[in-house]
Chains A and B, each alone.
Chain A
């Protein structure tokens, strides 16, 4: 599975959009980009995933560059409850696709 690189930490003002970048320059053609978040001492929560098209759901939007080497998770109106560690993961679709590595993630702090 491709390795991902994320900034260690980011701040965002409450009510503003939070844009979290992820670099996955070694991604393969059949690998998906997944985003999870983990609020302190809870289990990781699935947010969104995509292959090459931009995706949107009730939680967030995922923008994947045309060359697929990077992506951005967008929380459109951040709230204090969005303070968490956000993980970007690249995961394939082969037999061992269940095997994927969490990077160090980005600690997002939403401030009043």
Chain B
């Protein structure tokens, strides 16, 4: 099973709302990732968690707050977003970095629209 699930599939929110994106995997992976993808652009890395600890934050604004409650779950809490934050948000998981262990498996994404 190489499935990463993400909920919701679509989300529309106002700039004053607070919402959360959820990601789940049951492959025993200990590294999880959030990416942001704008239309017709490649995915951009936002955060990396390794063994449930934040290991990489790519200078993401504080209105995005990641959380890794356990090894299978990854959340992205959203607050006071701007319309330019509208994008496809992708979650991925992999084994922790190591030789031939960095294959990332992606979820289907959450399409976020900020009004």
Complex contact B98–A93 (CB within 8 A): yes
Complex contact B97–A93 (CB within 8 A): yes
**Contact residues of B with A, CB < 8 Å?**
2, 4, 31, 33, 41-45, 48, 50, 55-56, 58, 88, 90, 92, 94, 96-109, 111
Q: Which of B31, B100, B106 contacts A45 (CB 8 A)?
A: B106
Q: Which of A43, A87, A96 contacts B109 (CB 8 A)?
A: A43
Complex contact B45–A101 (CB within 8 A): yes
How many A-B pairs have beta carbons closer than 8 Å: the answer is 75
Complex contact A43–B107 (CB within 8 A): yes
Given A32-B102, A103-B42, 11 more A-B residue pairs with CB atoms under 8 Å apart are A30-B99, A43-B4, A43-B107, A44-B43, A46-B104, A92-B97, A96-B56, A98-B33, A99-B56, A100-B45, A100-B102
Complex contact A43–B104 (CB within 8 A): no
* Known A41-B88, A104-B42: A98·B107 in contact at CB below 8 Å: no
Number of interface residues of A (CB under 8 A): 28
Complex contact A97–B105 (CB within 8 A): no
Most-contacted residue by chain A among B31, B43, B45, B56 (CB, 10 A)? B43
Most-contacted residue by chain B among A34, A87, A99, A101 (CB, 10 A)? A99
Q: Which of B41, B48, B111 contacts A99 (CB 8 A)?
A: B48
* Contacting residues, chain B, for A105 (C-beta < 8 A): 42
* Known A46-B104, A91-B102: A99·B109 in contact at CB below 8 Å: no
Complex contact B48–A98 (CB within 8 A): yes
* Contacting residues, chain A, for B103 (C-beta < 8 A): 34, 46, 49
Question: Measured between C-beta atoms, what is the minimum distance from A69 to chain B in Å?
Answer: 20
Could you give 17 example pairs across A and B, Cβ below 8 Å? Answer: A41-B111, A43-B4, A43-B92, A43-B107, A43-B108, A44-B90, A91-B102, A93-B97, A96-B48, A98-B31, A98-B33, A98-B48, A98-B56, A99-B48, A99-B56, A102-B42, A102-B43
